[in-house]
């Protein structure tokens, strides 16, 4: 059973500067709610019970967002505002599920995930990248179902423009059916020439606990960062089964400025 999720939030958010010079990108509003809340909702609705948020000391405001009891309690007493009560009870519900882990130097997603090693107590866990919002369909829930069916790791996928492959991890897929494929290989941000396809890694993963062993030895890759993609690649080479899933639902890339700008409008129209 997959009951634990990891969400890496320690990234610098440079693609969204200047908005992120003071505010963490995950707290930026998207149609009136912080982006992070959409991700947490997806987790909760897919049956996840424990969530690890990886932050850095520079992004301590993410922790404060969930630890503002005194502030809310005082205001609720004074104002008797129903909306405040609802918002506060939602935050309290999340808080009970969340543990914070710190990654103070931005060495990459792989390094961030490794920091959670001692807290993962089942064979597989879910990982969600906060830049990727998927609306109208719970992608995590679909991946969990597929994990049960294939007894394998699963990663969300989406066909992207060939000219954009260097923005993503890219799969070498072997078709199973219309929506699913076996992942024969995966390469982090390849050039157009070296990309094995235009099926991109989208930030929803079901990963095995055994990845921690690989991550502990993982050498820095693209741009000097320790990438989860490179350790997944090693697991595939060691004959671990990985399934790619072309998810249903509307994808919003909130990690780029143009995607972020469009996301509120798109969500408001759903």
Nearer to ligand G1P, 120 or 128 (CB): 128
Please state the closest distance from residue 227 (CB atom) to ligand G1P, in A.
Answer: 6
Which are the contacts of 269, defined by CB distance < 8 A and separation ≥ 6?
none
d(CA 270, CA 144): 25
Nearer to ligand G1P, 97 or 236 (CB): 236
Compute φ and ψ for 179, nearest 5 degrees: -105, -20
Nearer to ligand G1P, 144 or 156 (CB): 156
Selection from 29, 35, 39 nearest residue 6 by Cα: 39
Which are the contacts of 213, defined by CB distance < 8 A and separation ≥ 6?
none
Compute φ and ψ for 97, nearest 5 degrees: -95, -15
d(CA 216, CA 90): 36
Please state the closest distance from residue 200 (CB atom) to ligand G1P, in A.
Answer: 5
Please state the closest distance from residue 198 (CB atom) to ligand G1P, in A.
Answer: 12
Residue with the closest Cβ to ligand G1P? 169
Site residues (CB under 6 A) for ligand G1P? 109, 129, 131-132, 168-169, 188, 200-203, 227, 229, 255
Nearer to ligand G1P, 3 or 184 (CB): 184
Which are the contacts of 125, defined by CB distance < 8 A and separation ≥ 6?
2, 4, 5, 6, 206, 207, 209
Please state the closest distance from residue 221 (CB atom) to ligand G1P, in A.
Answer: 10
**Alpha helices, DSSP H, located in 100-252:** 109-114, 139-150, 211-217, 228-237
Please state the closest distance from residue 232 (CB atom) to ligand G1P, in A.
Answer: 9
Selection from 149, 154, 168 nearest residue 251 by Cα: 168
Nearer to ligand G1P, 93 or 162 (CB): 162
Selection from 228, 159, 149 nearest residue 187 by Cα: 228
Please state the closest distance from residue 44 (CB atom) to ligand G1P, in A.
Answer: 21
Nearer to ligand G1P, 26 or 188 (CB): 188
Compute φ and ψ for 244, nearest 5 degrees: -100, 140
């Amino acid at each position: 059973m997959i009951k634990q999720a990891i969400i890496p939030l320690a990234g610098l958010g440079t693609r969204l500067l200047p908005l992120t010079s003071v505010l963490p990108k995950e707290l930026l509003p998207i149609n009136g709610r912080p982006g992070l809340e959409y991700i947490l909702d997806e987790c909760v609705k897919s049956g996840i019970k424990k969530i690890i948020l990886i932050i850095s000391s520079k992004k301590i405001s993410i922790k404060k967002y969930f630890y503002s009891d005194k502030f809310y309690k005082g205001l609720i007493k004074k104002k008797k505002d129903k909306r405040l009560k609802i918002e506060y009870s939602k935050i309290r519900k999340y808080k009970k599920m969340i543990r914070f882990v710190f990654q103070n130097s931005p060495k990459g997603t792989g390094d961030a995930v490794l920091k959670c090693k001692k807290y993962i107590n089942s064979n597989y866990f879910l990982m969600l990248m906060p830049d990727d919002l998927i609306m109208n369909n719970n992608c995590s829930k679909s991946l969990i179902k597929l994990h049960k069916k294939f007894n394998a790791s699963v990663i969300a996928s989406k066909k992207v423009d060939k000219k954009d492959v260097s923005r993503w991890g890219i799969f070498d897929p072997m078709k199973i059916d219309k929506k699913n494929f076996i992942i024969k290989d995966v390469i982090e941000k390849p050039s157009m020439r070296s990309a094995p396809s235009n099926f991109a890694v989208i930030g929803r993963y079901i990963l095995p606990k055994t990845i921690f062993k690989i991550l502990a030895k993982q050498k820095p890759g693209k741009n000097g960062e320790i990438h989860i993609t490179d350790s997944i690649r090693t697991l595939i080479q060691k004959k671990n089964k990985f399934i790619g899933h072309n998810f249903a639902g509307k994808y919003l890339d909130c990690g780029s400025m143009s995607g972020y700008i469009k996301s509120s409008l798109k969500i408001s129209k759903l």
